[in-house]
């Protein structure tokens, strides 16, 4: 959500900022609706004062036995005028809010211009793609050959974009999630949280999924929403709260199932488990003072990079351009991991600074130690990382010529000491 006062102060600058996202000018209409609302509210205040005065005059007149019919008629007419003005103010407020809700966040000045992902900028690369002297196979080829990845069984149970994992691969998926949340809580200072997978309208609105992205979510028959990421419940823990300044930054982490409808992804990544309706992810969320959010963004991204380094996975850090940055983000770093089976870099983590965009929607504020309210906090979120995609990356980068998969050293304590995953024994 945007600050209407800032838009009133410099509408041209607001339109210029959103033009980087290819959004047409909106400031004039927003300011006009806001002016109509404020004018109606001002008139209402004057009428309310007159109505209060009339009530006193009528009361005094009745005590004195005077004829108050004219005063009462004026009061009735005034009440009708006030109801009409309240309707005007409410409509103007709704129109202004609807436009504000539909507009993406203002980008940071250092976000590169560009229309799509082709304009994203690679900032660093870590590791080398494995030099495999055999044809690299994709994860689904490896998993099916091992007898540990069953897409037919998943389709029977739930349809497309689901996967059933068996045996050692199921254990490795669990191991990855445990390793990540352990790393972030024991070394990176995040507090582990267990949060609901079902949330209400207010929570999904607060983080920016509603109303614009409802089709990307799954909704239950009683009106709740399945979380697309733990960002939603974790960030909303600050909703309506005033957090003492001394507590900031608040760093929260959770390993949860996530659910996405993948609307608009028809035909993309239909084979394998790269793009699923249900997947697990470790999410990092930070509630920060505005002066801290830049440093927290760098820190959060580095935490996600550490996961990939410990798993011995080549990756690169990319800053997203204006046309590829998400709706609520002011700046986003993507971490892309190398997948030998695809011979391509694929996103495995996205870390974003939302600044006060979400905080305004959910009324999340901070108070200084002297008792003065500072204003809105900044919120940040990042994948630390997507478990399913990490499993894919481990399988493809650590595949062996005989079709087995080497277990990265950091995962072996979670895998009973096993150093490799082999084919399941035939029954």
pLDDT digits (tens, 9 = 90+) for 368-391: 888 877 899 999 999 999 999 999
> Given a cut of 50, is residue 427 above it in pLDDT?
no
pLDDT (0 to 100) of residue 1: 85
pLDDT (0 to 100) of residue 91: 84
Catalytic, out of 38, 347, 367, 406: 347
Catalytic, 299? Answer no
> Given a cut of 70, is residue 269 above it in pLDDT?
no
Catalytic, out of 275, 346, 367, 406: 275
Catalytic, 262? Answer no
pLDDT (0 to 100) of residue 263: 66
> Given a cut of 90, is residue 85 above it in pLDDT?
no
Spatial CB neighbours of 379, under 8 Å, sequence gap ≥ 6: 235, 238, 285, 286, 287, 288, 354, 355, 356, 357, 358, 359, 364
Q: What does the pLDDT look like over 59-80, one tens digit per residue?
A: 888 988 888 888 888 888 888 9
Catalytic, 51? Answer no
Q: What does the pLDDT look like over 179-217, one tens digit per residue?
A: 999 999 999 999 999 999 999 999 999 999 998 899 999
> Given a cut of 50, is residue 163 above it in pLDDT?
yes
Catalytic, out of 96, 350, 352, 366: 350
The two beta strands, 250-259 and 191-192, are parallel
Q: What does the pLDDT look like over 282-291, one tens digit per residue?
A: 999 999 999 9
Catalytic, out of 20, 299, 355, 389: 389
Catalytic, out of 20, 137, 260, 365: 260
The full length of the chain comes to 427
Catalytic, 347? Answer yes
């Amino acid at each position: 959500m945007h600050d209407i006062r800032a838009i009133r102060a410099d509408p041209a600058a607001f339109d210029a900022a959103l033009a980087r996202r290819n959004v047409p000018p909106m400031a004039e209409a927003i300011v006009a609706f806001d002016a109509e609302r404020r004018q109606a509210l001002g008139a209402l205040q004057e009428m309310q004062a007159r109505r209060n005065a009339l009530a006193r005059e009528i009361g005094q007149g009745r005590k004195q036995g005077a004829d108050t019919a004219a005063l009462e008629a004026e009061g009735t007419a005034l009440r009708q005028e006030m109801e009409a003005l309240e309707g005007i103010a409410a409509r103007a407020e709704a129109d202004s809010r609807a436009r504000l809700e539909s507009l993406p966040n203002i980008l940071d000045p250092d976000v590169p211009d560009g229309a799509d992902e082709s304009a994203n900028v690679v900032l660093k690369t870590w590791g080398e793609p494995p030099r495999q002297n055999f044809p690299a196979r994709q994860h689904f080829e490896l998993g099916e050959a091992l007898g540990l990845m069953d897409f037919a069984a998943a389709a029977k149970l739930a349809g497309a974009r689901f996967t059933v994992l068996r045996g050692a691969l199921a254990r490795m998926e669990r191991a990855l999630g445990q390793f990540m949340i352990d790393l972030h809580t024991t070394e990176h200072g995040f507090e582990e949280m267990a949060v609901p997978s079902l949330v209400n309208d207010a929570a999904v609105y607060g983080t920016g999924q509603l109303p614009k992205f409802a089709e990307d979510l799954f909704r239950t028959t009683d009106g709740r929403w399945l979380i697309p990421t733990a960002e939603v419940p974790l960030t909303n823990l600050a909703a309506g709260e005033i957090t003492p300044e001394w507590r900031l930054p608040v760093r929260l982490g959770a390993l949860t199932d996530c659910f996405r409808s993948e609307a608009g992804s028809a035909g993309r990544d239909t084979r394998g488990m790269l793009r699923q309706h249900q997947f697990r992810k470790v999410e990092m969320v930070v509630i920060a003072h505005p002066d801290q959010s830049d440093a927290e963004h760098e820190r959060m991204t580095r935490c996600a990079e550490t996961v990939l380094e410990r798993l011995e996975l080549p990756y690169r850090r990319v800053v997203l351009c204006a046309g590829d940055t998400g709706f609520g983000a002011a700046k986003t770093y993507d971490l892309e991991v190398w997948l030998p089976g695809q011979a391509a870099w694929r996103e495995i983590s996205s870390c974003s600074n939302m600044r006060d965009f979400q905080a305004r929607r959910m009324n999340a504020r901070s108070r200084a130690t002297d008792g003065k309210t500072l204003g809105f906090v900044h919120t940040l979120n990042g994948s630390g990382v997507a478990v399913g995609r990490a499993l894919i990356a481990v399988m493809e980068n650590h595949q062996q010529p005989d079709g087995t998969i080497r277990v990265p050293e950091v995962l072996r304590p979670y895998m009973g000491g096993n150093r490799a995953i082999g084919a399941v024994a035939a029954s």
